[in-house]
Amino acid sequence: MGRAIEMEKDIDTLKIKIERLENTIRGMCAKLDELDEVVFEYEEESEKAVEEKKEKKDGKKANNKASSNSGKSSNRKDGNSKGQNNANGDGSK
């Protein structure tokens, strides 16, 4: 009979330890879920920031291309531009 009582005490002790472990694991899971949410939100924010930076760079590149093209002289249909000579060939008006 003494062995059965000792085994019963051991079983009760094991049950208590298992309950503590379960509670600890639940707490850890809850913390991990919170951290996961925070990390997910951070990743979304950082992805948005990266996309915004890319858009700004792309916008600057597009603006630079447009501004570099605007600096070039345009050819007119009538063939007259600043550097061309007139009918006399001397460039005077």
Q: Where are the domains of the chain?
A: 1-65
Position 83 confidence tier, pLDDT thresholds 50, 70, 90:
low
**pLDDT band per the 50, 70, 90 thresholds, residue 73:** low
With a pLDDT cut of 90, the percent of the chain lying above it is 38
Q: What is the chain's mean pLDDT, rounded?
A: 78
CB 75 within 8 Å of CB 81? yes
Q: In angstroms, what CA-CA distances link 4 with 16, 17, 33, 41, 85?
A: 18, 20, 43, 55, 119
Residue 86 near residue 93 (C-beta atoms within 8 A): yes
Share of the chain above pLDDT 70, in %: 62
